[in-house]
């Protein structure tokens, strides 16, 4: 790491407090640094990521206003989450030497049926979360690796786990049910829902950004490389398109979305694939990538006239519109539709096509507003209003961490 170049650049002072937000995946470690000055409120100080862990690790960081702080390759020895965390710690020490870290908040994909809210991490919590690894094998182990690596390096610093599933707890029994035999259900097989930190953030800003629908029936479309819809009634989740795992529902970048379970049996029984091969197919080789045969990135597909790329986009929109109809039925009507995440925030074309396919519900899109990117993208008289609201999962984690650890803004 080139931390030496950054030494002495610390914009804060020794009086300042810091809190970290970490989002650890299999090949990336995303982070945010929040600073609380000697007096005043918490503010975003830096955000960045180490991507390509295990292949060609690349460290990038920006300050709170988007200015580049770092962009550099790391040694190939950065092979796992703990090694990435060491790299990040080097950079943080160089930049914020002597800073007090008051807490670390983590994104944890699975909180199971028990953790219906963020929680301060204890050895018991870690044990509980480890039991959920089989339910989220591609995410949970890396989330836990980050928690344990921080605990080893900063044993005095309290940590908080914020779950992607929590926001969905409290749904009705029918919404959570997977109708398999009772002994299977008792082992934790139910619909959990994901992207909860994103939906919780959107729900938290609704009264300010879109007050007229805040108390109503709203569908939020989180369309990124992972994609799902959430049905909100009075800002609470009543159903969503992701279920037991993050494979259900909409077509995603490399995941298929809902598939007839008979197809999975066919892969095992007729084609003789192994569990590992099926897992890799479902998480990494399906969805937009599989349909187009070329890319999982919506930007590439929208700019490509090849019939397979065109079909991939058509299927993405078709599936999204189909699920919008399903959740509108669950909500018994619709007052608002919100787009968020990489595709939802940036692609006017995908928003236009999903809104057009959902026009029967009463969405009357304002083309100019949609091209400008919102926030309101429906015409004034539209029965259902449509919106673009950028999500901020890290801020949600920071808020939870500050609340649970009692890190209130300092009085001016």
In whole angstroms, how close is the CB of 146 to ligand ADP at the nearest point? 17
Contact between 1 and ligand ADP per CB under 6 A: no
Stretch that binds ligand ADP, among 78-86, 262-270, 291-299, 318-326 (CB under 6 A): 291-299
Residue 120 binds ligand ADP, judged by CB under 6 A: no
- Cβ neighbors of 65 (< 8 A, separation 6 or more) are none
Residue 327 near residue 238 (C-beta atoms within 8 A): no
Among 253, 256, 287, 336, binds ligand ADP (CB under 6 A): 253
Q: Which of 6, 241, 286, 347 binds ligand ADP (CB under 6 A)?
A: 347
In this chain, which stretch among 31-39, 64-72, 298-306, 362-370 interacts with ligand ADP, using CB under 6 A? 298-306
Examine residue 60 and tell whether it contacts ligand ADP (CB under 6 A). Answer: no
The span of 116-124, 266-274, 320-328, 340-348 binding ligand ADP (CB under 6 A) equals 340-348
Continuous H helices in 189-260: 196-209, 211-214
Catalytic residue (choose from 164, 239, 248, 366)? 164
Closest CA to 176 of 330, 340, 391, 336: 330
| HEC-encoded secondary structure of 23-82 | EECCCEEEEEEEEECCCCCCEEEEEEEEECCCCCCEEEEEECCCCEEEEEECCCCCCCHH
| Active-site annotation holds for 164 | yes
C-alpha to C-alpha distance for 383 and 175, rounded to whole angstroms: 27
346 lies in the binding site for ligand ADP (CB under 6 A): yes
Q: What are phi and psi of 256, to 5 degrees?
A: -80, -20
Question: Residues 12, 68: contact at Cβ < 8 Å?
Answer: no
Q: Which is nearer to ligand ADP, 94 or 226 (CB)?
A: 226
Distance between CA atoms of 47 and 92, rounded to whole angstroms?
A: 11
The residues, any chain, with a CB within 8 Å of residue 268's CB and separated by 6 or more, are 275, 278
Name the residue nearer to ligand ADP (CB basis): 36 or 353.
353
Between 171 and 347, CB nearer to ligand ADP: 347
Is residue 292 part of the contact set for ligand ADP (CB under 6 A)? no
Verify binding: residue 198, ligand ADP, rule CB under 6 A: no
Burial of 285 (0-12, 13-18, 19+ CB in 10 A): middle
23 beta partners: 30
For residue 320, state whether it binds ligand ADP (rule: CB under 6 A). Answer: no
Surface-to-core class of residue 89, CB atoms within 10 Å of its CB (0-12 exposed, 13-18 middle, 19+ buried): middle
Nearer Cβ to ligand ADP, position 140 or 346? 346
- Which element (helix H / strand E) includes 142? helix 140-153
**Options 226, 249, 336, 374; binder of ligand ADP; rule CB under 6 A:** 226
342 near ligand ADP, rule: CB under 6 A: yes
Q: How far is the CB of 53 from ligand ADP (least distance, A)?
A: 15
Q: Which residues bind ligand ADP (CB under 6 A)?
A: 224-226, 253, 297-299, 302, 341-343, 346-347
Catalytically active residues, by annotation:
164
């Amino acid at each position: 790491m080139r931390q030496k170049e950054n030494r002495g650049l610390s914009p804060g002072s020794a009086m300042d407090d810091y809190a970290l937000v970490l989002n650890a995946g299999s090949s990336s470690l995303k982070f945010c640094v929040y600073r609380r000055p000697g007096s005043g409120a918490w503010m975003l100080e830096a955000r960045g990521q180490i991507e390509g862990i295990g292949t060609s690790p690349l460290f990038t960081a920006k300050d709170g206003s988007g200015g580049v702080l770092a962009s550099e390759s790391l040694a190939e020895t950065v092979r796992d989450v703990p090694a990435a965390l060491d790299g990040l710690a080097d950079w943080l020490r160089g930049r914020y030497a002597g800073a007090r870290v008051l807490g670390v908040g983590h994104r944890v994909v699975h909180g199971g049926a028990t953790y219906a809210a963020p929680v301060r991490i204890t050895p018991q919590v870690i044990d509980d979360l480890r039991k959920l690894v089989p339910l989220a094998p591609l995410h949970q182990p890396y989330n836990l690796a980050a928690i344990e690596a921080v605990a080893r390096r900063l044993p005095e610093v309290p940590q908080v786990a914020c779950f992607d599933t929590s926001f969905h707890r409290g749904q009705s029994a029918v919404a959570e049910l997977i109708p398999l035999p009772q002994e299977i259900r008792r082992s934790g097989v139910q619909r959990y829902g994901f992207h909860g930190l994103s939906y919780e953030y959107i729900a938290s800003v609704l009264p300010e950004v879109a007050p007229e629908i805040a108390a109503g029936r709203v569908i939020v479309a989180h369309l990124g490389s992972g994609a799902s819809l959430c049905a909100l009634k009075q800002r609470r989740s009543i159903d969503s398109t992701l279920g037991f795992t993050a494979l259900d529902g909409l077509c995603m970048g490399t995941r298929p979305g809902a598939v007839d379970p008979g197809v999975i049996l066919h892969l095992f029984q007729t084609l003789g694939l192994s569990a590992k091969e099926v897992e890799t197919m479902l998480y990494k080789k399906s969805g937009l990538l599989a349909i187009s045969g070329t890319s999982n990135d919506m930007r590439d597909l929208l700019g490509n006239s090849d019939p397979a790329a065109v079909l991939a986009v058509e299927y993405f929109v078709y599936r999204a519109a189909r699920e919008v109809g399903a959740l509108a039925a669950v909500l018994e009507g619709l007052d608002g539709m919100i787009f968020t995440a990489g595709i939802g925030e940036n692609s006017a074309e995908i928003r236009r096509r999903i809104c057009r396919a959902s026009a029967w519900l009463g969405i009357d899109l304002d083309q100019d507003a949609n091209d400008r990117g919102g926030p309101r993208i429906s015409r004034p008289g539209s029965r259902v209003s449509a919106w673009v609201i950028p999500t901020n999962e890290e801020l949600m984690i920071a808020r939870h961490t500050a609340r649970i650890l009692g890190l209130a803004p300092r009085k001016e």
